[in-house]
């Protein structure tokens, strides 16, 4: 009897162990099979690299917002790169793994190593989208506009004249134009781009009163790759539904994918951005920007940045004075060390200001770097 009990106990224990082992193996298999499709899905997501290299058209605000939109709404892998002062865009090695590049760069003389990364990317036959100042992106690659983009940039009309965009009737069935309004107002000046390179396909023309129409968006081919350029891309354009529809459609077209079925929404707001000393210096030096010093009147009188307007944070009339400013124009803020300017930036954003830059280093960093200071007499 004891021997029979022992054999039964051993057999029962073995059965329990076998059942447990099977459960473990089954779980591992399920995890493995579940992980494989996810890994394959992640690998199949196109990688889009967005590059900002200018200080005039707020691409340091608009391209990060576009990055988030492409990731959140459409599931792309995205990388954002920006000019960090001087003739330098760190991180361009990301182009080696990019499936699409979107850029807004203006008159940069990139080091040969960095420019070479763009040339290598294009030589591989990969697609490109250029916006606004991309037509005159590189001072050390002048043929870029005509050869790569298929354009012919020759300056622009006045900044205060609103240009109307009109879809080319002959191209209305092009997938980039799916759902795009036949006519819409644009945010920036009209670029002079006539004539286009042979082989370019005109999608949209722009016009202003008493002037001939100019190509505003077109496709081109370079090294066998799909290229699309548009002189649109002013920061105000990103608040326009027709432009955002055009832009998202272009991303999908460049990647040889069907355009999304749902309409594309325009941006309602853009969060404030913290900037470095060199970035602030470039922004503050541009006439399009309003420079705001949010310190106290006494601090301001002791020394302030050239062109800075006093708007003391915490003052009783802060909102009243802010209301006198144009909410569609970009603001460059600073205080002493960044605390007050951060709060002021958030408040101005809540008040509806669209393009806000916060120099977190403040006057402390500005003066330490030996930058020019104006004293009130």
364: domain CATH number is: 3.40.250.10
Residue 26 confidence (pLDDT)? 47
Question: Which of residues 226, 254, 282 is at a domain's end?
Answer: 254
3-state secondary structure of 161: coil
**DSSP track, 266-313:** PPS----EEE-HHHHHHHHTSTTPEEEE-S-HHHHHH-B-TTEEE--T
Tell me the mean pLDDT in the region 348-355: 98
Average pLDDT of the chain is 91
Judge if 214 and 277 occupy the same domain: no
Could you list the residue range(s) of the whole structural domain that residue 336 is in?
Answer: 273-368
Residue 190 confidence (pLDDT)? 97
Name 172's Cβ contacts closer than 8 Å, sequence gap at least 6.
182
Q: Nearest Cα to 108, choosing from 121, 118, 95?
A: 118
Six-digit token string for 93: 């090695």
Q: If pLDDT is split at 50, 70 and 90, which confidence band does 27 have?
A: low
Residue 345 lies in a domain: yes
Judge if 148 and 185 occupy the same domain: yes
Residue 312 confidence (pLDDT)? 98
Q: Say whether pLDDT at 43 is over 90.
A: no
Judge if 181 and 151 occupy the same domain: yes
Residue 129 lies in a domain: yes
3-state secondary structure of 90: coil
Residue 85 confidence (pLDDT)? 79
Q: How far is CA 54 from CA 23, 60, 83, in A?
A: 59, 8, 7
Can you state the angle between helices 241-254 and 59-74, rounded to 10 degrees?
60
| pTM of the entire predicted model | 0.87
pLDDT in tens, 162-185: 899 999 999 999 999 999 999 999
Residue 376 lies in a domain: no
The answer to whether the bond into 195 is cis (omega within 30° of 0) is: yes
Residue 147 lies in a domain: yes
Judge if 288 and 250 occupy the same domain: no
Judge if 356 and 211 occupy the same domain: no
Show the DSSP H helices in the chain as ranges. 2-44, 59-74, 112-123, 241-254, 277-284, 297-302, 318-322, 339-350, 362-368
Judge if 195 and 70 occupy the same domain: yes
Judge if 200 and 322 occupy the same domain: no
Rounded Cα distance between 129 and 99, Å, is 11
Residue 4 confidence (pLDDT)? 44
Number of domains in the chain: 2
Q: Nearest Cα to 295, choosing from 277, 309, 316, 279?
A: 309
Tell me the mean pLDDT in the region 203-226: 97
Six-digit token string for 329: 């124009």
Q: Nearest Cα to 283, choosing from 83, 142, 118?
A: 83
Query: 221 near 227, Cβ under 8 Å?
Result: yes
Query: 137 near 53, Cβ under 8 Å?
Result: yes
Rounded Cα distance between 265 and 246, Å, is 11
Question: Which of residues 190, 225, 254 is at a domain's end?
Answer: 254
Name 83's Cβ contacts closer than 8 Å, sequence gap at least 6.
52, 53, 54, 55, 89, 105, 108, 279
Judge if 141 and 209 occupy the same domain: yes
Judge if 221 and 108 occupy the same domain: yes
Query: 230 near 246, Cβ under 8 Å?
Result: yes
Residue 20 lies in a domain: no
Tell me the mean pLDDT in the region 131-159: 96
Tell me the mean pLDDT in the region 107-121: 98
Q: Nearest Cα to 190, choosing from 203, 207, 204?
A: 207
Label each residue of 55-74 as H, E or C: CCCCHHHHHHHHHHHHHHHH
Q: How far is CA 300 from CA 321, 338, 340, 358, 375, in A?
A: 16, 15, 14, 17, 8
Tell me the mean pLDDT in the region 34-58: 75
Q: Nearest Cα to 328, choosing from 263, 251, 239?
A: 239
Judge if 320 and 353 occupy the same domain: yes
Query: 220 near 144, Cβ under 8 Å?
Result: no
Q: Which helix (H) or strand (E) holds 342?
A: helix 339-350
217: domain CATH number is: 3.40.50.880
Residue 190 lies in a domain: yes
Question: Which of residues 254, 289, 309 is at a domain's end?
Answer: 254
Residue 17 lies in a domain: no
Judge if 53 and 176 occupy the same domain: yes
Q: If pLDDT is split at 50, 70 and 90, which confidence band does 37 have?
A: very low
Judge if 223 and 355 occupy the same domain: no
Residue 279 lies in a domain: yes
Tell me the mean pLDDT in the region 61-68: 98
């Amino acid at each position: 009897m004891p021997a029979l009990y022992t054999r039964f106990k051993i057999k029962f224990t073995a059965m329990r162990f076998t059942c447990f082992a099977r459960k473990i193996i089954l779980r591992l298999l399920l995890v493995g099979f579940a992980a494989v499709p996810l890994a394959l899905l992640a690998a199949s997501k196109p990688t889009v690299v967005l590059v900002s290299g200018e200080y005039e058209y707020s691409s340091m605000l608009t391209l990060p917002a576009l990055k988030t939109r492409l990731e959140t709404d459409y599931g792309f892998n995205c990388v954002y790169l920006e000019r960090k002062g001087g003739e330098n865009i760190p991180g361009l090695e990301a182009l080696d793994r990019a499936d699409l590049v979107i850029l807004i760069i203006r008159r940069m003389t990139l080091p040969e190593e960095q420019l070479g990364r763009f040339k290598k990317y294009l030589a591989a036959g990969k697609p490109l989208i250029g916006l606004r100042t991309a037509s005159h992106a590189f001072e050390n690659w002048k043929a870029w506009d005509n050869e790569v983009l298929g354009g012919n940039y020759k300056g622009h009309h006045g900044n205060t004249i609103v240009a109307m965009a009109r879809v080319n009737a002959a191209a209305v069935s092009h997938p980039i134009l799916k759902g795009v309004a036949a006519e819409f107002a644009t945010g920036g000046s009209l670029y002079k781009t006539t004539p286009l390179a042979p082989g370019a396909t005109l999608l949209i023309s722009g016009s202003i009163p008493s002037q001939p129409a100019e190509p505003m968006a077109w496709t081109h081919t370079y090294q066998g790759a799909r290229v699309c350029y548009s002189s649109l891309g002013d920061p105000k354009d990103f608040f326009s539904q027709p432009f955002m529809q055009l832009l998202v459609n272009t991303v999908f077209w460049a990647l040889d994918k069907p355009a999304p079925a749902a309409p594309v929404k325009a941006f309602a707001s853009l969060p404030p951005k913290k900037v470095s000393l060199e970035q602030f210096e470039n922004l503050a030096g541009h006439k399009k920007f309003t420079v705001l010093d949010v310190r106290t009147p006494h601090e301001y009188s002791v020394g302030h940045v050239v062109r800075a307007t006093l708007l003391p944070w915490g003052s009783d009339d802060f909102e009243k004075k802010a209301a006198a400013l144009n909410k569609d124009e970009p603001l460059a803020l600073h205080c002493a060390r960044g605390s007050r300017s951060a709060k002021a930036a958030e408040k101005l954003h809540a008040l509806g200001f669209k393009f806000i830059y916060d120099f977190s280093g403040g006057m402390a960093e500005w003066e330490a770097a030996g930058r020019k200071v104006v004293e009130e007499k």
